[in-house]
Amino acid sequence: MINKKDLPKKIPVFPLSNFIIFPKTTVPLNIFEPRYIDMVNDSMKQEKFIGMIQPRNQKSLMSNNNALYQIGCLGKITSFIETDDKRFLIELKGIVRFEIEKEVVSNKKYRECEVSYESFYEDLNNKKENLKFSDLELIFKNLKNLFEKKGFIINWKELEKQSLDETINALAMASPFTLEEKQALLETKNLDTRKTKISEILTTYTFDQYNNNTIQ
């Protein structure tokens, strides 16, 4: 278990659009851009931490000047494989959310930020939320409809074997929601408010249109 004192003040950040990671969830990443190869190499030599964050503008992802959202999630590399063509296949486990305080100027190809975890220390706790799967039956039903209409394949039986917070977070990460909607889910205080936010987002969707368009 990672303690508050183990959390780095300065972290490398990996801006990835329409992608979020939550604490206690694990995601695979295929790293091939030279700057992020450098980032993973440097991270592996230290505490193996990387900050995942969404850029505000999807059209200029190659730019290091692209504005970032303030809230992201610190992840730790738990698996690392280098392929024959020099790509890195890693698994990143979400640890705790952070808020960017300022970006650090450096000569590195990737970006670094000084961050604060103060608002999200509860992410480090193992306390279970007081919710049951029966509380989420309607949300799961609507999510299943949306996933099926979008052609997403989800192993629901396997999901239900996980803890409730892992299930909700995994569905929020995999959902065909917009960049802004996923960011709103990441910024929710806890599982209960995240559940409510997912429900609110689902009410804006029509199951007759499937291009991430919402009803206005």
pLDDT band at 64 (very low <50, low <70, confident <90, very high): low
Q: Could you confirm whether domain 4-123 is CATH 2.30.130.40? A: yes
The closest of 108, 107, 114 to 34, measured between CA atoms, is 108
Q: How many CA atoms lie within 13 A of 152 on its CB side?
A: 16
CB count in 10 Å sphere of residue 139: 16
Give the global pTM: 0.84
Q: How far is residue 55 from each of residues 14, 16, 22, measured CA to CA in Å? A: 9, 7, 17
Which pair of structure tokens corresponds to residue 130?
Answer: 């007081």
Question: Of residues 190 and 137, which shows the higher confidence score?
Answer: 190
What is the DSSP code (8-state) at residue 105?
P
What string of H, E and C letters represents the secondary structure of 120-174?
Answer: HHHHHCCCCCCCCHHHHHHHHHHHHHHHHHHCCCCCHHHHCCCCHHHHHHHHHHH
Q: List pLDDT tens digits, range 114-147.
A: 999 999 999 998 766 666 666 677 777 777 787 7
* pLDDT digit string, tens, across residues 156-178: 677 667 777 777 787 788 787 88
Assigned token pair, 118: 């103060």
